[in-house]
Amino acid sequence: MGEYTQGIYIDGCHFNVPLVSVKRQANFLDKYAEREEESGDLKRELIGVYLNYTLNFGIVEDDNLYESLFNKLTEPVEFHDFTLPSTKGSYSFRGYVSSVSDEMEKIMEDTVRFKGLTCKYTAKAPWRTP
C-alpha cells in the first residue's frame, strides 16, 4: 500500500501522516464454543465478526504533529472514534487503542526523531453479526 494521502481521523481530529501499512484482521468472537465429549462435535454460538487494525506509520518529520498523534493514541480514555481507509473510501468505527510502540531513530541537540510508530485498534462492537 502506498502512502495514504487522505490522513486518518481519531475522534474527529485529522492527522495527515504517512501510513506504511494498514493490516486488517477479522476476528470471530463466540458467546460459547464447546465440544461434545462423546462425538467431539463442536457446538458454538457466534456473537459476531470484529475488524481490528494494526497501523504502521512512516516517518513524521513535523515534531508537533508527531507529538500530537502520539498523545492522541496514548490518551487514557475508554474508546475512540476511528476513520481508516477502505475500498469504499473510508471505514468508521468505535474502538480502543490496545498498544502503541515506536523507536528512537536519531537523538539531536534539541529534539528526538522517532521511527516505527505502530498501533493496534480493537473494535468495540462487531462489524458483522449472524
Q: Which three cell numbers stand for residue 21?
A: 501499512
- Exposure string (b/e) for 26-59, b if CB count within 10 Å is 16 or more? eeeeeeeeeeeeeeeeeeeeeebebbbbebebee
Q: Taking the CA of residue 118 as centre, how many other CA atoms within 13 Å lie in the half-sphere pointing to its CB? A: 10
pLDDT by residue, tens only, the chain of 130 residues: 444 456 799 999 999 999 999 999 999 999 998 988 888 899 999 999 999 999 999 999 899 999 999 999 999 999 999 999 888 888 999 999 999 999 999 888 888 889 999 999 999 999 999 9
Amino acid identity for residue 27 in this structure: N
Model-wide pTM > 0.95: no
* Confidence at residue 4, expressed as pLDDT on a 0 to 100 scale: 47
